[in-house]
Structure 1
Amino acid sequence: MSSETRNTANAPRPTASEPAPGSRPTATRRQVLAGSGAAAAIAFTGAFSELFAGTAAARGHGGYGPLVPDPDGLLDLPKGFRYRVLSREGDPLRSGEGEVPSNHDGMAAFAGRHGRVHLVRNHENRVTAKIGVPTVEGLTYDPAAKGGCTSLELDGRNKVLGERVAIAGTAVNCAGGPTPWRTWLTCEETEDRAGTNGYAKDHGFVFEVDGADPRRTGAVPLTAMGRFQHEAVAVDPGSGIVYETEDAFDRPFGLFYRFLPARPLGGTGSLRAGGALEAMRVPDLPDLSSVQETGARFDRVEWVPVPDPLAAGTPIRLQDFGPKGITHAQKLEGCYWGGSSVYFVSSFARSDEGSAADHYGQVWRYEPQKRRLTLVVIFGPDTDIQLPGESPDNICLAADGGLMVCEDGGGAQHVLGVTRRGEVYAMARGRQNIGTPEEPEWGEFAGVTFSPDGSTMYVNCYTPGTTFAVTGPWC
């Protein structure tokens, strides 16, 4: 498909924690019900102001108005907004290296020279993927793997100037996160070893990708950051510490980690110098899903060294963390840095799958200086799976100071906006039906991110793999 524009209406290691009581709820539960502009009812609870610490003032109203049906059947947006299709799976890469791969997932945008933007995009491909990332000499880790990243170069008007392979031969590249030195950390959401599924090498690593010059970073696994089912990462810009989420598919569920690099900051190569991997332990809290009250605060977070970061014999989440154990959570996904805190998302928890309790999505805030963990948002209760309001996934801070969340649940799929006041609105709705007219299905959104100047929201539809640039009256 063409890209024609279409109208639609070096820091010290943290000190040890000080003695404190285990946990205590400190905030009053607050429920917010907001219309999305699409006749939807959403229920969220939490202290939303905490989500926007250190950002510009968020929008003072509940969104940009109702979504306007797209006559081309791709993406519904509010009036005044427009989208451009930048790339679709199966189209030829402009580099001539092959086809645009399938399964568009996590993504980030970086400033380039002369007002250009480098958009780095994950492809969450397994060995069964329809279109794998083409192997390229010098950029391929394991030729048997079909995942990786592609990089788009855009001009100031979002015209695609180039599109190429940025890393290949990785597996199940789900999310990741940007670094302060303008590279992308792409994460493998798998623990498959060499010999499994035909792989020639072990997988489950983080790789660093320079979207402007991929050969500068190559295809080198950052092994000290651990081998597990990675989801997303966020870098503390002051200390260089990297926080990592694990989306393990079975019990015991994933952990929340921090990586203390030996060379905390300084650009490409700093993470390759190694470091220490630790997992979060909240005393007397083996499962985060058991916390059901927003504002619940834990003032004594501990960090425990991971016995075997490479998981040579046992997956990390199954390793021996001592008699006190370790803290797990189901579906740890999105992760971002805001103000002086790191935020991470648990998309959902289901007791019938092994969690301690049920929820429709949580957002947690960890304050490194205070060693404090707080549950700041709970998604739900789910009123209708055809409407937004469940299973948050990728998450980012918006140019207007609000929050954008990719929904990954049942029924219609949306990009949701959240204001500082807790108002929730639908920013976009996917219209590409991958089911049947009788039983429609829509591909999830992923990789929401903003251009460095805040003028464009970029977002992926996972399947069919489609990358959109959305412009309009962002304010």
Structure 2
Amino acid sequence: MKRRNFLRGAAIGTSAAAFGGTLMRGAAYAAPAQPGPGPYGALGSADASGLQLPSGFSGRVIARSGQPVAGTSYRWHSAPDGGACFADGSGWIYVSNSEINPGGGVSAVTFNSSGAITGAHRVLSGTRQNCAGGKTPWNTWLSCEEVSRGYVYETDPWGVEAATRRDAMGRFTHEAAAADPARRVIYLTEDEPDGCFYRFVPTSWGDLSVGSLQVLKAGTATSGSFTWATVPDPDGSPTVTRDQVSGAKRFNGGEGCHYADDTVWFTAKGDNRVWRLNLTSDSYELAYDDSLVTGGGAPLTGVDNVTGSSSGDLFVAEDGGNMEICVITPDDVVAPFLRVTGQPGSEITGPAFSPGGDRLYFSSQRGTTGSSSDGITYEVTGPFRG
């Protein structure tokens, strides 16, 4: 994009179900995905908020930059970006980064069991260009700075515990993070034209203060095997982290990242690719590449943030393109799921499902004016397949 150890009511799990509730079931995946009829059907006409949705789905605006969140006095941040949902009793919390510099940080909206907004609060302040991030199995939010030698901050979505800077996770142009409880590592993307893909191996799972930063090594082909190598100096000075290990594989503008079921997916905006790592075979391949689409135009361009549902579907947000969130199904069909109209100067950010899987949250970072002070955060409700 650019363009606690706070243990709170959750055990530190060892299965994919512990991370975001998005266990990918029985996905065969024979990449790369091609256009076809989506599982939810065609998009309807734009509603009052400019959303085009499939039949059976409805949307609403839950927050606008600079304005109080409905029913609260808390003013929503500018340039809403990466986000995630956390269970909160019978309700949930949606956290959202702010991609401004200086300022940045994270805000949150709380909901009750019926989806009504019950509050909003600040989670992190005083950081720089907080872009994407990732949820941990112990219910913290990793907020990543997309600046040269940026940091990862571990935050408390409830805003009770102070955020902690996690220096051991490396200083580089951070984008997204995804937790792998099976291997007890955190995957990290890097938003540079010659960026790398990393994993952080904490000394003790659940404690991100100490550990080893590793970089993926592989050939130049679009599929093959990979290994991991330790980055000697995670601080990235004087030599940046991506240039410290010979043979580190390059990815053109790393963006979103999602883990489930022994697989990690991540996007690269520079060449509109979605990559997939098979972690049981230590192999990689393309899940999607717009230049390999056959039989017409590519439905997905400007790949960015990504999340997954319990059905095995990936939901990929566009930075530009047609301002769509597209779905890539386990049988390798890619199709638009929703479109935001009347906002050509913006990008879609922060897709995340509620714990029940029936609500999808996301933002238009710069809204109708193309200004970071005009961000809009949405909720879409409907019959998502489980």
Deviation at 1:185, TM superposition (A): 0.7
**Maintained 8 Å contact 1:416/1:425:** yes
Query: 1:297 aligns to what?
Result: 224
For normalisation by structure 2, the TM-score amounts to 0.84
Aligned to 1:278: 214
How far, CA to CA, are the matches of 1:395 and 1:242 in structure 2?
Answer: 16
Distance 2:32 2:180 in 1: 29
Aligned position for 2:153: 207
What's the counterpart of residue 180 of structure 2? 236
Partner of 2:86: 110
CA 1:34 to 1:386, structure 2 compared with 1: closer, same or farther past 3 Å? closer
- The one of 186, 196, 200 aligned to 2:143: 186
Cα gap change, 1:376 to 1:69, in 2 (>3 Å): closer
How far, CA to CA, are the matches of 1:246 and 1:281 in structure 2? 15
Asked whether the equivalents of residues 49 and 60 of structure 2 are also in contact (C-alpha less than 8 Å), the reply is no
Cα distance change, pair 432–163 in 1 and its aligned pair in 2 (3 A): farther
Deviations 1:87-121 (CA, angstroms, capped at 9, x unpaired) = 11111256646x311111111001111x1111111
| SS in structure 2 of the partner of residue 107 of structure 1 | strand
How far apart are the structure 2 equivalents of 1:458 and 1:466?
A: 11
Structure 1 residue matching 2:36: 3-state secondary structure:
strand
Q: Given the two structures, how large is their TM-score scaled by the length of structure 1?
A: 0.69
Check whether the contact 1:147–1:168 (CA below 8 A) recurs between aligned residues. Answer: yes
What's the CA shift for 1:314?
2.6
Report if the CA contact (8 A) 1:430-1:442 is conserved: no
Query: Is 1:74 aligned to 2:50, yes or no?
Result: yes
| Distance in 2 (alpha carbons) for counterparts of 1:229 and 1:85 | 31
SS across alignment from 2:53? strand
CA distance in 1, matches of 2:119, 2:363: 18
- Per the alignment, do residues 157 and 399 of structure 1 end up closer, same or farther by CA in structure 2, a change over 3 Å counting? farther
Per-residue deviation, 1:71: 4.1
Q: How do 1:76-91 and structure 2 match up within 5 A?
A: 76-91=52-67
Q: Does the C-alpha gap of structure 1 residues 328 and 70 become closer, same or farther in structure 2, counting only changes over 3 Å?
A: same
CA contact (8 A) 1:73 1:432 kept: no
- Is the contact made by 2:50 and 2:341 (CA closer than 8 Å) also made in structure 1? yes
| Alpha-carbon spacing, 1:182–1:362, altered in 2? closer, same or farther (3 Å) | same
Partner of 1:195: none
Distance 1:453 1:170 in 2: 31
Q: Does the residue aligned with 1:67 lie in a helix, a strand or coil?
A: coil
Deviation at 1:404, TM superposition (A): 0.9
Q: 1:261 to 1:31 in 2, by over 3 A?
A: closer
C-alpha RMSD of matched pairs (Å): 2.6
Percent same amino acid at aligned positions? 32
Query: What one-letter code is carried by the residue in structure 1 that aligns with 2:250?
Result: H
Corresponding residue to 1:318 among 243, 254, 264? 243
TM-superposed deviation, 1:242 = 0.8
Structure 2 CA distance for partners of 1:264 and 1:297, relative to 1, 3 Å: same
- 8 Å CA contact retained: 1:397, 1:404: yes
Q: Does 1:32 align with 2:34?
A: yes
Counterparts of 1:348 and 1:399, CA distance in 2: 29
- 1:413 is matched with 323
Matched, 1:306 2:231: yes
Q: Mark the CA change 1:427 to 1:307 in structure 2 (over 3 Å): closer, same or farther.
A: same
Pick aligned residue for 1:220 from 164, 169, 177: 164
1:388 corresponds to 2:299? yes
Q: Give the residue type in structure 2 aligned to 1:318.
A: D
Mapped partners of 2:297, 2:167: distance in 1: 41
Q: Which amino acid aligns with 1:310?
A: D
**How many residues in Structure 1 have an aligned counterpart in Structure 2?**
352
Higher-strand-fraction structure: 2
Deviation at 1:442, TM superposition (A): 4.5
Whether the 8 Å CA contact 1:391–1:408 is kept in 2: the answer is yes
SS at match of 1:105: strand
Which of 1 and 2 has greater Rg? Answer: 1
Residue 472 (str. 1) matches residue 357 (str. 2): no
Alpha-carbon distance between aligned partners in 2 of 1:330 and 1:63, rounded to the nearest angstrom: 30
